[in-house]
């Protein structure tokens, strides 16, 4: 389980295709603390570390993951938000993030607001996912608060720290992002859906 509070940014230094899978080698300032078999969130996607060499480490994404997330678009020098699993005795600073992406979305607008930024996103509603005003959303592994929640779109505000310390500073209009909707909202929607006639 993750919290959506990004620890560091990783940079892709190698991409290798293995059948339908893709193996990524990334460089990060926290990689020397990783262990083989450890779960790490990459833009919100939970991947298992398969090798560690100093500041570099390796993970593999299967075809299903590549098709449902933005990891298939990673190339050399791509920046990736990283977070290790929450320790059992740690603080819960974000919200419950599983590292299981529900779907991707598209950044439709970026507006600078004198020291902060507003980002608008759209997503396909056919998967049944929803946002709620002032609810939580995980975008590329970052826990954020939703506002302007509409049927297929929403907005988030990004403070300077988050803008600088995550890959939000390299996001452009038209870019694809990974979305994990709030797990509590998904359970409630599922339960209530079973009572509709």
Which residue range(s) make up the domain with 145? 103-193
Looking at residue 25, which CATH number applies to its domain?
Answer: 2.40.30.20
The answer to whether 92 and 83 have CB atoms below 8 angstroms apart is: no
Residue 95 lies in a domain: no
Give the integer Cα–Cα distance in Å for 29 and 3. 20
Residue 178 lies in a domain: yes
Q: In what order do the strands lie in the sheet with 176-181?
A: 142-145, 136-139, 176-181, 103-112, 117-122, 153-158
Neighbours of 61 (CB within 10 A): 19
Same-domain check for residues 75 and 149: no
Same-domain check for residues 75 and 132: no
Same-domain check for residues 66 and 21: yes
Query: Could you tell me the CA-to-CA distances from 66 to 22, 27, 90, 102, 142 in Å, in that order?
Result: 8, 20, 31, 13, 19
Residue 30 lies in a domain: yes
Rounded to two decimals, the pTM is 0.90
Residue 153 lies in a domain: yes
Same-domain check for residues 112 and 188: yes
Same-domain check for residues 111 and 186: yes
- Per-residue model confidence (pLDDT) at position 90: 72
Residue pLDDT, tens place only, 122-147: 999 998 899 999 999 999 999 999 99
Which ranges in 19-137 belong to alpha helices (H)?
63-68
- Per-residue model confidence (pLDDT) at position 195: 62
Residue 94 lies in a domain: no
Residue 96 lies in a domain: no
Residue 98 lies in a domain: no
Phi, psi dihedrals of residue 47, rounded to the nearest 5°: -125, 150
> How many domains does the structure of the chain reveal?
2
- Per-residue model confidence (pLDDT) at position 190: 81
Q: Which of 64, 46, 61 is nearest to 141 (CA)?
A: 46
- Ranges of beta strands (E only) in 71-190 are 79-84, 103-112, 117-122, 136-139, 142-145, 153-158, 176-181
The answer to whether 99 and 46 have CB atoms below 8 angstroms apart is: yes
Q: Which of 96, 102, 80, 95 is nearest to 31 (CA)?
A: 80
Same-domain check for residues 124 and 55: no
Same-domain check for residues 120 and 185: yes
Same-domain check for residues 79 and 129: no
Give the integer Cα–Cα distance in Å for 128 and 108. 20
Residue pLDDT, tens place only, 40-58: 999 999 999 999 999 999 9
Same-domain check for residues 44 and 107: no
Last residue of a domain, one of 40, 57, 84: 84
Same-domain check for residues 67 and 147: no
Same-domain check for residues 115 and 187: yes
Q: Which of 70, 58, 54 is nearest to 18 (CA)?
A: 58
Residue 90 lies in a domain: no
- DSSP lists the bridge partners of residue 122 as 106, 153
The list of the chain residues with pLDDT below 50 reads 197
- Per-residue model confidence (pLDDT) at position 131: 94
- Joined together, the tokens standing for residue 29 give 């300032």
Same-domain check for residues 45 and 126: no
Give the integer Cα–Cα distance in Å for 100 and 138. 10
């Amino acid at each position: 389980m993750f919290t959506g509070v990004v620890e560091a940014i990783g940079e892709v230094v190698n991409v290798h295709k293995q059948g339908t899978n893709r193996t990524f080698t990334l460089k990060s300032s926290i990689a020397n603390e990783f262990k083989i078999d450890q779960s790490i969130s990459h833009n919100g996607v939970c991947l298992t570390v398969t090798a560690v060499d100093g500041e570099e480490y390796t993970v593999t994404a299967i075809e299903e993951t590549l098709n449902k997330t933005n990891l298939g678009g990673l190339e050399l020098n791509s920046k990736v938000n990283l977070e290790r699993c929450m320790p059992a005795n740690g603080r819960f600073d974000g919200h419950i993030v599983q590292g299981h992406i529900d779907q991707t979305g598209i950044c439709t607008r970026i507006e600078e607001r004198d020291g902060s930024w507003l980002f608008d996103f759209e997503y396909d509603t056919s998967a049944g996912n929803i946002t709620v005003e002032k609810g939580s959303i995980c975008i590329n592994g970052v826990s954020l608060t939703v506002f302007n929640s509409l049927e297929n779109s929403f907005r988030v505000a990004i403070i300077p720290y988050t803008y600088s310390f995550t890959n939000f500073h390299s996001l452009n209009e038209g870019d694809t992002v990974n979305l994990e909707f709030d797990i509590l909202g998904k359970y409630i929607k599922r339960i209530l859906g079973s009572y509709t006639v």
